């Protein structure tokens, strides 16, 4: 009976959105949920998206179902965006994309695939990671383990990470953030990616690269560096790609699970299983967002406009990072928070503790995740002094 159903708490990150909206303080600042915001605090629809949508309204002929793998044009263009236009894998039919409802749908499909088709394999997540990773893979029935990523001193600890991966059972899956690690903003250097790759090869691990922020770190191609390295060097790989952030399509639920297999024939086998799993999850994927992405990436002018818009978002976040460190300098805190300028993507693990985060919220109406994660895109140039002052006060 429903009488036996207990109530569980909502998502703490999304809950911050409601708490912020309900805060009457005009000085309030939302550094919580990971959506990009412009200088006026709005999450804009990119102009390239608007133009592609207008074209779509004019030209779309039917709303009948699309296939289980989604729109083939979307898949083709997204594969080129992720793996590189000249990728030999595409030429040789060694990689394919299955359209999913957002990056989360891709993660769920990947988790179900591992649970169903690679029985006995656990999955290893960074500590910390995006909280949904924890619950999602457990829901798939996978055994979830953790490898260290950030030490108690709020520094990336690659040695500890590698030492842990060397202990992972042979053949297990390991989730790696392809760029712009959520929640920390700490990225692996190319040298350290190669060290991880060596362990992955030695223990025959199956990497699942979560690629939710392409374009927000160092650039669209630069951010794909690790994905392309792993895809070139390994016979088997899973990549979950999200169009939520870089196309601003959040609510349109647009993404894909990309599979790299050793032969074209094996790829077809795997894709048949993915279609079966997807059928039992969402049947066929939603069309609109993927059609917009295909319309943009398939048109040289729209693609150039979009790439400029992504670059503008990336540069805004990057300049807010160094701006905040400069704003902290008069408080004598520039060295202590120097990592904010070198982290990448939307998020920064500031190093602030839960008590300090709570004080920021109660005394200054500044909202961030209790782990000390701040969404840098939620800052604004003219608010950096206020934010720096508040941080200085709670660090006293
Ligand atoms: N993976 C990470 C690390 C994320 O931060 C997000 C963000 O929302 C996602 C996956 C999934 O994105 P979405 O399902 O909104 O495309
Ligand atoms: O980490 C974030 O803030 C983003 C957005 O249930 C998000 O990834 C957060 C929680 C959630 C869905 C998306």
- Ligand 2 pocket, residues with Cβ under 6 angstroms: 11, 13-14, 33-34, 130, 132, 182
Name 203's Cβ contacts closer than 8 Å, sequence gap at least 6: 165, 166, 168, 169, 170, 171, 172
Q: Tens of pLDDT along 349-372?
A: 999 999 999 999 999 999 999 999
Q: Which of 71, 172, 210, 223 is catalytic?
A: 210
> How many angstroms does the Cα of residue 34 sit away from the middle of ligand 2?
6
Give the ligand 2 atom nearest the CA of 183. Answer: 1
CA distance 127 to 184: 10
Mean pLDDT of 243-264: 98
37 is catalytic: no
| CA-CA-CA-CA torsion sign (54, 57, 61, 63) | positive
Q: What is the pLDDT of residue 131?
A: 95
3-class SS of residue 26: coil
Which residue's CA is minimally distant from atom 6 of ligand 1?
212
Is the Cβ atom of 182 under 6 angstroms away from ligand 1? yes
Q: Tens of pLDDT along 92-110?
A: 999 999 999 999 999 999 9
Q: By the 8 A CB rule, do 327 and 29 touch?
A: no
Q: Tens of pLDDT along 47-57?
A: 999 999 999 99
Give the ligand 2 atom nearest the CA of 14. Answer: 10
> How many angstroms does the Cα of residue 222 sit away from the middle of ligand 2?
24
CA distance 76 to 122: 31
Exposed (0-12), middle (13-18) or buried (19+): which is 23, by Cβ within 10 Å? middle
pLDDT range class, residue 12, cuts 50, 70, 90: confident
Q: Which ligand is the nearest neighbour of the Cα of 213?
A: 1
**Mutate which of 15, 33, 184, 210 for ligand 2 pocket (most atoms within 8 A of beta carbon):** 33
| CA-CA-CA-CA torsion sign (301, 307, 308, 309) | positive
Q: For residue 374, is pLDDT > 90?
A: yes
| CA distance between the termini of the chain | 53
Percentage of the chain beyond pLDDT 70 is 100
Q: Cis peptide leading into 53, omega within 30 of 0?
A: no
303 is catalytic: no
Cβ-based neighbour number of residue 272 at 10 Å:
11
Is the Cβ atom of 101 under 6 angstroms away from ligand 1? no
- Inter-CA distances, 95 with 77, 128, 167, Å: 13, 30, 29
266 is catalytic: no
Tokens of 203: 């223990």
Mean per-residue pLDDT of the chain: 97
Is the Cβ atom of 102 under 6 angstroms away from ligand 1? yes
> How many angstroms does the Cα of residue 335 sit away from the middle of ligand 2?
30
Q: For residue 80, is pLDDT > 90?
A: yes
Partners of residue 26 on adjacent β-strands: none
Q: For residue 380, is pLDDT > 90?
A: yes
Which residue's CA is minimally distant from atom 2 of ligand 1?
212
Q: For residue 396, is pLDDT > 90?
A: no
CA distance 75 to 335: 45
pLDDT range class, residue 63, cuts 50, 70, 90: very high
ipTM over the 0.90 cut-off: yes
Tokens of 34: 């990971």
> How many angstroms does the Cα of residue 69 sit away from the middle of ligand 2?
25
pLDDT range class, residue 266, cuts 50, 70, 90: very high
Mean pLDDT of 204-214: 98
Cβ-based neighbour number of residue 157 at 10 Å:
16
User: Of all helices (H) and strands (E), which one includes residue 321?
Assistant: helix 300-328
Tell me the Cα Rg of the chain.
Answer: 21
**Mutate which of 182, 214, 285, 289 for ligand 1 pocket (most atoms within 8 A of beta carbon):** 182
3-class SS of residue 179: coil
Q: Tens of pLDDT along 217-242?
A: 999 999 999 999 999 999 999 999 99
Q: For residue 169, is pLDDT > 90?
A: yes
Q: Which of 130, 172, 193, 223 is catalytic?
A: 130
Q: What is the pLDDT of residue 70?
A: 98
Nearest alpha-carbon partner for 99 in 303, 233, 283? 283
Q: By the 8 A CB rule, do 231 and 195 touch?
A: no
Is the Cβ atom of 348 under 6 angstroms away from ligand 1? no
Full set of structural domains in the chain with CATH: 11-45+305-394 (3.90.1150.10), 65-298 (3.40.640.10)
């Amino acid at each position: 009976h429903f009488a036996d159903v207990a109530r569980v708490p909502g998502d703490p990150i999304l809950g911050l959105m409601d708490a912020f909206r309900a805060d009457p303080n005009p000085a309030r600042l939302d550094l919580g949920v990971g959506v990009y915001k412009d200088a006026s605090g709005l999450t804009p629809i990119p102009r390239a998206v608007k133009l592609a949508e207008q074209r779509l309204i004019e030209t779309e002929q039917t709303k009948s179902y699309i296939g289980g793998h989604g729109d083939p044009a979307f898949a083709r263009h997204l594969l080129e965006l992720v793996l590189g236009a000249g990728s030999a894998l595409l030429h040789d039919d060694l990689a394919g994309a299955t359209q999913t409802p957002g990056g989360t749908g891709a993660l769920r499909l990947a988790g179900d695939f591992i649970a169903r088709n690679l029985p006995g394999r656990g999955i290893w997540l960074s500590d910390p990671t995006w909280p949904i990773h924890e619950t999602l893979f457990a829901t798939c029935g996978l055994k979830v383990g953790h490898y260290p990523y950030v030490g108690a001193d709020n520094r990336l600890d690659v040695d500890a990470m590698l030492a842990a991966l060397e202990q992972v059972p042979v053949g297990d899956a390991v989730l790696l953030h392809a760029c712009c690690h959520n929640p920390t903003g700490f990225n692996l250097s190319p040298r350290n990616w190669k060290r991880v790759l060596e362990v992955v090869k030695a223990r025959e691990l199956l990497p699942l690269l979560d690629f939710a922020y392409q374009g927000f770190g160092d650039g669209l191609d630069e951010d794909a560096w690790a994905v392309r390295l792993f895809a070139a060097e390994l016979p088997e790989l899973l990549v979950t790609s999200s169009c939520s952030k870089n196309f601003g399509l959040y609510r349109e639920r647009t993404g894909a699970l990309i599979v790299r297999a050793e032969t074209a024939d094996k790829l077809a086998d795997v894709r048949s299983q993915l279609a079966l799993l997807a059928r039992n999850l969402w049947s066929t994927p939603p069309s609109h967002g993927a059609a917009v992405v295909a319309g943009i990436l398939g048109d040289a002018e729209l693609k150039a406009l979009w790439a400029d818009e992504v670059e503008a978002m990336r540069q805004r976040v990057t300049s807010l990072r160094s701006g905040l460190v400069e704003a902290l300098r008069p408080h004598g805190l520039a060295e202590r928070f120097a990592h904010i300028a070198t982290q990448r993507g939307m998020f920064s693990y500031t190093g602030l503790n839960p008590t300090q985060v709570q004080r920021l919220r109660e005394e200054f109406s500044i909202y961030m995740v209790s782990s000390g994660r701040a969404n840098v895109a939620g800052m604004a140039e003219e608010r950096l002094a206020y934010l720096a002052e508040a941080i200085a006060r709670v660090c006293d």
